Amino acid sequence: PELAHIQNIRIGSKSLTFWPHRFVTDRDADDVLRSFERAVKAGKHVAFMAHVNHWRELDTDICRRAISRIRDTGAVIRSQGPLLRHINDDPRVWSKMWREQVKVGIVPYYMFAERNTGARRYFEVPLAQCYEIYRDAIQHVSGLGRTARGPSMSADPGKVEIQGITELNGEKVFVLRFIQARDPRLVQRPFFAKYDDQATWLNHLVPAAGHAPFPFPVEG
């Protein structure tokens, strides 16, 4: 009863592609899946957030078996992953990955810009290129695959999505919006940043000329 307020259980994991045996042949695989099933039968929505970087990660028999077993519990598998230079910085990789995910019952969820931490310089892709890759990829999937949002940045003020590149008053700009924000008043509120073909994160951007400052503190 003390947990009745919990309606959704979100499990983020790389295990589906890194070690799918976790749900098939590991000694406690059945126990793990039974815990998912118990939660679903108790009326909870169990969302398994699979971290997937490339369609080839899903292209093994053991992974397909793991997907099937997780889905049989009533849990919903959603996919998310970063756009990584040298690995998946090609719209054809993303469109094929999303199509394959829909085929096996996975819901495409997020394409992330590479986070501004760790060994990012080898992997990061400029935001302008991220947007073009997303735009090209999403054009080549059916409506069922267009649940994938992106490219997004999990930045300090919130989760920011690049919605487009356009011109305002003769200036090329990024169109951005908050999917989630520390300040809930910012959610779904569009704002504009000066176009920068080298920027790879939110704190590299500046407000577009003639527009108000960003409605949040900018990270250092």
**Per-residue confidence (pLDDT) for residue 115, from 0 to 100:** 85
**Per-residue confidence (pLDDT) for residue 117, from 0 to 100:** 77
What value does the mean pLDDT take over residues 202-219?
Answer: 82
What is the spatial distance between Cα 114 and Cα 199, in angstroms, rounded to a whole number?
12
How high is the mean pLDDT of the chain?
94
What value does the mean pLDDT take over residues 179-197?
Answer: 93
**Per-residue confidence (pLDDT) for residue 2, from 0 to 100:** 73
What value does the mean pLDDT take over residues 206-220?
Answer: 77
Q: Is the pLDDT of residue 220 over 60?
A: no
At 216, the pLDDT band (50, 70, 90 cuts) reads confident
Q: Is the pLDDT of residue 208 over 70?
A: yes
Residue pair 28/19 in contact (Cβ under 8 Å)? The answer is no
Percent of the chain at pLDDT above 90? 86
Distances from the Cα of 120 to the Cα of 64, 116, 117, 131, 171, angstroms: 30, 6, 6, 18, 29
**Per-residue confidence (pLDDT) for residue 214, from 0 to 100:** 85
**Per-residue confidence (pLDDT) for residue 205, from 0 to 100:** 93
- Domain extent listing, the chain: 8-150, 156-220
Instruction: Indicate the fold that domain 8-150 takes in CATH.
Output: TIM Barrel (3.20.20)
What value does the mean pLDDT take over residues 13-35?
Answer: 97
- How would you write the chain as a 3-class SS string? CCCCCCCEEEEEECHHHHCHHHHCCCCCHHHHHHHHHHHHHCCCEEEEEEECCCHHHHCCHHHHHHHHHHHHCCCEEEEEEEECCCCCCCHHHHHHHHHHHHHCCCEEEEEEECCCCCCHHHHCCCHHHHHHHHHHHHCCCCHHHCCCEEEEEEECCEEEEEEEEEEECCEEEEEEEEEEECCHHHECCEEEEECCCCCCCHHHCCECCCCCCCCCCCCC
What value does the mean pLDDT take over residues 146-166?
Answer: 95
